[in-house]
Copies of this chain bind each other. A is one copy, B any other.
Amino acid sequence: MSTTAASLRIGDVARLVGTTPRTIRYYEEKGLLPAGAGRAAGQHRLYGEGDVERLRELLRMRNLLGVPLEELRELVAVDDERAMLRSELHRTDAPAERERILHRLDALAERQLAAVDRRAGELDALRDEIAARRARIAELLAEPER
């Protein structure tokens, strides 16, 4: 049922996303990555393209938002619910049901957007302040007189 075969090992994945095996195991331990359900203790972990994407998103958000992993987990929990709802959406044709799901999806996206948007706005403000300073300096350089 997976889109891509799970044929990558932890070291490969680590190289692909630019991190270390230890970090991947740690994220699994903390519930940020699925625990690879059908895998007996001692066996090697196997990953697919989807897992790689997931991990990329995690690292990206960690870098951009700088939030603790705990908080990060909640954000991706939103993603998980999104995936669930989307597959649910594909299995139904009932219009009322579809609308209900879509509204829920929208609410989730809105929540995530709010978290990111606020940060982005603040950063933009900071950037603008610095840019304004540069502009003033450029002005002073342009007119050598008082």
- A residues with a Cβ closer than 8 A to B are 60-61, 64-66, 95, 99, 102-103, 105-106, 109-110, 112-113, 116-117, 119-120, 122-124, 126-127, 130-131, 133-134, 137-138, 140-141, 144
Interface contact A141-B102, CB-CB below 8 Å: yes
Chain B nearest CB, measured from A83 CB (Å): 12
Chain B nearest CB, measured from A115 CB (Å): 9
Interface contact A113-B99, CB-CB below 8 Å: no
Residue of B nearest to A99 (CB): B141
Q: How many copies does the complex hold?
A: 2
Chain B nearest CB, measured from A122 CB (Å): 6
Interface contact B123-A119, CB-CB below 8 Å: yes
Chain B nearest CB, measured from A31 CB (Å): 22
17 chain-A/chain-B pairs, Cβ below 8 angstroms = A61-B126, A64-B119, A64-B123, A65-B66, A99-B144, A102-B137, A102-B140, A103-B141, A105-B137, A106-B141, A113-B134, A116-B127, A116-B130, A120-B123, A120-B124, A120-B127, A124-B124
